[in-house]
Structure 1
Amino acid sequence: MSTTPVLPTPGDAPSSIGVPPEPRSPARGVWARVRHVALPFGSLLLFLVLWQLLAASGTWSETLVPSPAKVWDAFVNVSTTHDGVRGYNGTYLVEHLGISLRRIALGAGIGIALGVLSGLLMGTVGWVRSLFEPWITFLRTLPPLAYFSLLVIWLGINEEPKVTLLAVAAFPPVAVSTTTAVVAVPKSLVEAARALGASRWDVVRDVVVPSALPQTLTGVRLAVGVAYSSLVAAELVNGLPGIGGMVKDAANYNNTPVVLVGIIAIGVSGLIIDGLLLRLERTAVPWRGHA
């Protein structure tokens, strides 16, 4: 009994079985890189144009919506010495930003370290998770201003309440993400390690930590973002020098250009640090996103 091969009709989709993928053309790769850079700059240019048109329309007063040129002048003023005045309140913009970044590094660093340790403990010991998970959820839902005044009463108005607030803000995202990652570690890997004679510490070090690392690093990025969003709140009291304190002080005098300079400085520095953390994540867990 003979069989007749079925030939594909012109309308049939070609089969991909055994057919190598088409090589990516160099022009397409160059265009992808150009687009990756051009789109953000294009959106920034469009934003500046719309901002200038809005400021020039006179819909709102210049105090409420200053022009980009006014904000640039404010940036130059707070970054240099002008008319005998050094920056803003005697401190340059880069110094304000550096002091705030130091507070974030210390506070968020403490919160991240405690979050990782707590997440590993709650993920591996069930009763510890049942005991502390509701409290961490409760803490995660609180806005920073809800407990900052209490921290000021307890710790004074110097650096201690600011660093503590940033640590408390950064702690829950890391603790939650690490706990979730540890719980999700495949049981087969743990059982295989124990079958090979690994101790509990060996299992945590060689199996649990590497498996949980990708999601933990995501929690670290979230924690740094939460710490940044809490920066102005942390510097509401005695925040000068500091970029959040500069924003708050300028807002008291309706100095909108300086407020916008501070906001832009916080946002740009946050983007840079998030990019560095993303690069660290790709270096530490290069297998993420790959089968």
Structure 2
Amino acid sequence: MSTTPRLSPTDPVSLPVPGKAPASRRPRVAARVRHVALPLGSLLLFLLLWQLLAASGTWSETLVPPPSKVWDAFIDVSTTHDGTRGYNGTTLIEHLGISLRRIALGAGMGIAAGVVFGLLMGTVGWVRSLFEPWITFLRTLPPLAYFSLLIIWLGINEEPKVTLLAVAAFPPVAVSTTTAVAAVPKSLIEAARALGASRWDVVRDVVAPSALPETLTGIRLAVGVAYSSLVAAELVNGLPGIGGMVKDAANYNNTPVVLVGIIAIGVSGLIIDGLLLRLERVAVPWRGRA
């Protein structure tokens, strides 16, 4: 006999209200609103405090220009005005594009070398013993410490800039990959070998996928280090380039242009980091769930 309860005509029935989200969706909608509103609110608060500080007259406009002057500088370096194109004949987007190309070349080479060395050091003990102290030594050096040496060796054109960014990006990836490879469960490796996998098969099918999440974290760190080294890389003969623009404007106390360059570097860095986060979610969707 069926025991399924039946509704009588007098029982209340819950119907969806048009225009009103179900209760289960409300927390997600609220979380999304907070995710957008909090950063926007903090930005507006920062701009308000900046304007109040500039209007107080505590410091001169050379030191703390108001946001309106920085905006005017942004328009000037992004367009052609009074017969002058951008800054030093190059627009802001072109300066930024040239610097991003340098970062792509330099950080790309550093990341590739870091992954290879990380896999080698994580799987071959004597390779780790040989190279790990040198990588640690390199990781502790600030970029300016060896940039002058790179200029002596490679000149003042593109080579020292790209090399500096490559050297700066290499250690984070190498260290994170080495640590991740060394942490791969031995049981997985032994199981793969028991099934007849060669050493290359173990590295390709077991070690590399297991190390991928930490390697991607190292890549994010490497890109951040490369960005922080950008102005140093463009100290010499950096124009055109966003770091070179910042350095040249600082030589003339052109603070609005300096701030425009700093903001451009920061915003582009945020965008690239967001893209890397998106790549991480696609490449390793299991991270944080197992």
TM-score, normalised relative to structure 2: 0.91
The 3 A distance-change label for structure 1 pair 90 and 190 is: same
> How many residues are paired up?
282
Structure 1 CA distance, aligned partners of 2:269 and 2:39? 16
**How big is the shift at 1:30?**
1.0
The 3 A distance-change label for structure 1 pair 265 and 3 is: closer
The C-alpha deviation readout for 1:229-275, integer Å capped at 9, x for no partner, is 00000000000000000000000000000000000000000000000
The C-alpha deviation readout for 1:166-216, integer Å capped at 9, x for no partner, is 000000000000000000000000000000000000000000000000000
Gaps of 5+ in 1: 17-23
Partner-residue secondary structure (3-state), 2:121: helix
The 3 A distance-change label for structure 1 pair 61 and 196 is: same
The 3 A distance-change label for structure 1 pair 13 and 6 is: farther
The C-alpha deviation readout for 1:69-115, integer Å capped at 9, x for no partner, is 00000000000000000000000000000000000000000000000
Structure 2 CA distance, aligned partners of 1:165 and 1:211? 30
Structure 2 CA distance, aligned partners of 1:96 and 1:14? 49
Q: CA RMSD in A?
A: 5.8
**How big is the shift at 1:6?**
33
Structure 2 CA distance, aligned partners of 1:209 and 1:195? 18
The 3 A distance-change label for structure 1 pair 14 and 163 is: closer
The 3 A distance-change label for structure 1 pair 67 and 2 is: closer
Structure 1 CA distance, aligned partners of 2:20 and 2:151? 72
The C-alpha deviation readout for 1:97-147, integer Å capped at 9, x for no partner, is 000000000000000000000000000001110110000000000000000
Partner-residue secondary structure (3-state), 1:112: helix
**How big is the shift at 1:2?**
33
The 3 A distance-change label for structure 1 pair 134 and 254 is: same
Structure 1 CA distance, aligned partners of 2:277 and 2:69? 34
The 3 A distance-change label for structure 1 pair 197 and 98 is: same
Structure 1 CA distance, aligned partners of 2:53 and 2:168? 36
The 3 A distance-change label for structure 1 pair 238 and 196 is: same
The 3 A distance-change label for structure 1 pair 15 and 268 is: closer
**How big is the shift at 1:152?**
0.3
Partner-residue secondary structure (3-state), 1:5: coil
Structure 1 CA distance, aligned partners of 2:130 and 2:68? 55
The C-alpha deviation readout for 1:7-29, integer Å capped at 9, x for no partner, is 9999999999xxxxxxx646xx1
User: Percent of aligned pairs with the same residue?
Assistant: 90
The 3 A distance-change label for structure 1 pair 3 and 49 is: closer
Structure 1 CA distance, aligned partners of 2:225 and 2:23? 49
The 3 A distance-change label for structure 1 pair 247 and 10 is: closer
Gaps of 5+ in 2: 8-15
What residue number does 1:121 align with? 120
